[in-house]
């Protein structure tokens, strides 16, 4: 089993697919499950299956994800959001390779290879620690984009090729846009870079000059400003300018985020936040003052 650790948007599912495609299971389809999106009361049936009549409303037998992924790879994303009652069941599968569908009298044997991913700290939480130790047979830590800025240019070229229209090429991107992109912190990592880059290409197709500051929501824009302030610190005209720049960064990094209760948010609030942030769940959740798993539940 493999445990992928990294911030949201760093490409954990891409890494999982890469592992699967390079394995001996590549001729089978990888099964992907978002654990944060599972209904807590039906999670066991979703994962392990259920017999007819196993629970209220179970009018037919149900095939679970472990059965679907026989001989293949089962990718469990957002593993940190696994319901508490499911964690011991996953531990048993990893320890013995066996699981029991709801309502069944015999165990099934699983041959699925498990890859899990999370952006949470499983080691300092209420998550089942015995399960963590089973999941971490092989750990891959995926660094955030700001820690591998040398990749930003390569990713931009890759994204440009993916979105080629025949009339747009790299030479049409203004150097100011590229410079800002290389200096921006990209809190949403590769996913955010991809979304912004699509907007930049659209702007070029419309005959406009893309400006990074206009394509990033205000809370995220601070990193672009911080990059400019950092350049002042690194090559200041005088010590006063360096101190002022450092103070501005420190002040921007300590703005508290007000957390909200789910019952205080309406369906309209959710839809408006998603539309405002181009249907990016992480940013919409931050805008509403809730966690990403909570946003999944509201959706």
Question: How much is the pLDDT for 20?
Answer: 97
What is residue 91's predicted lDDT score, i.e. its pLDDT? 94
Percent residues over pLDDT 90 in the chain = 42
Evaluate if residue 233 carries a pLDDT over 80. no
pLDDT over threshold 80, residue 242? no
Rounded average pLDDT over 246-273: 68
pLDDT exceeds cutoff 90 at 58:
no
Res 274 pLDDT > 60: yes
Looking only at the bridges linking them, the beta strands covering 98-99 and 108-109 are antiparallel
Q: Which of 86, 78, 144, 83 is nearest to 115 (CA)?
A: 78
- The pLDDT assigned to 218 comes to 45
Contacts of 27 (CB under 8 A, 6+ apart): none
Residue 209 DSSP one-character state: P
Residue 182 has pLDDT above 80, yes or no: yes
Q: Which of 33-42, 50-59, 253-262, 268-277 has the lowest mean pLDDT?
A: 253-262
Task: State the pLDDT at residue 252.
Answer: 52
Say if strands 113-118 and 2-5 run parallel, antiparallel, or are unpaired: parallel
Q: How confident is the model at residue 65 (pLDDT cuts 50, 70, 90)?
A: very high
The answer to whether residue 94 scores a pLDDT higher than 70 is: yes
User: 77 forms bridges with which residues in the sheet?
Assistant: 34
Report how far apart, in Å, the C-alpha atoms of 83 and of each of 89, 135, 249, 285 are: 10, 16, 39, 20
Supply 32's token pair: 């992907």
Q: What pLDDT score does 130 carry?
A: 94
Burial 127-139 (b: 16+ CB within 10 A, else e): bbeebbebbeeee
| Residue 168 binned pLDDT confidence (cut-offs 50, 70, 90) | low
pLDDT score recorded for residue 257: 47
Higher-confidence residue of 231 and 24: namely 24
Q: Is 10 helix (H, G, I), strand (E, B) or coil?
A: coil
Q: What does the block give as tokens for 141?
A: 């830590």
Pull the structure tokens for residue 217.
Answer: 């929501």
Least confident piece of the model among 19-23, 140-144, 284-288: 284-288
Block residue for tokens 């921007």: 252
């Amino acid at each position: 089993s493999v445990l992928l650790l990294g911030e949201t948007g760093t490409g954990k599912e891409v890494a999982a697919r890469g592992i699967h495609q390079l394995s001996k299971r590549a001729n089978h389809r990888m099964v992907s499950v978002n654990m944060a999106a599972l209904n807590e009361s039906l999670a066991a049936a979703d994962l392990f299956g259920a017999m007819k009549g196993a629970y209220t409303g179970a009018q037919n037998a149900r095939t679970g994800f472990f059965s679907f992924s026989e001989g293949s790879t089962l990718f469990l994303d957002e593993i940190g959001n696994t319901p508490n009652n499911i964690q011991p069941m996953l531990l048993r599968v990893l320890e013995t390779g066996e699981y029991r569908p709801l309502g069944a009298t015999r165990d099934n044997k699983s041959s699925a290879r498990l890859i899990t991913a999370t952006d949470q700290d499983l080691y300092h939480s209420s998550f089942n620690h015995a399960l963590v130790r089973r999941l971490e047979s092989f750990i891959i830590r995926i660094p955030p984009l700001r820690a591998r800025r040398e990749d930003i240019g390569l990713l931009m070229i890759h994204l440009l090729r993916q979105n080629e229209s025949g009339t747009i090429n790299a030479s049409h991107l203004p150097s100011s846009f590229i410079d800002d992109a290389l200096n921006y912190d990209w809190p949403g990592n590769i996913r955010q870079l991809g979304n912004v880059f699509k907007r930049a290409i659209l702007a070029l197709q419309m005959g406009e000059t893309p400006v990074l500051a206009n394509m990033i929501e205000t809370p995220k824009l601070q990193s672009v400003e911080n990059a400019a302030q950092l350049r002042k610190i690194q090559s200041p005209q005088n010590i006063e300018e360096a101190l002022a720049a450092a103070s501005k960064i420190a002040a921007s990094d300590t703005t508290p985020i007000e957390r909200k209760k789910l019952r205080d948010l309406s369906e309209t609030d959710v839809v408006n936040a998603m539309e405002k942030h181009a249907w990016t769940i992480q940013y919409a959740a931050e805008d509403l003052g809730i966690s990403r798993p909570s946003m999944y539940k509201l959706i």
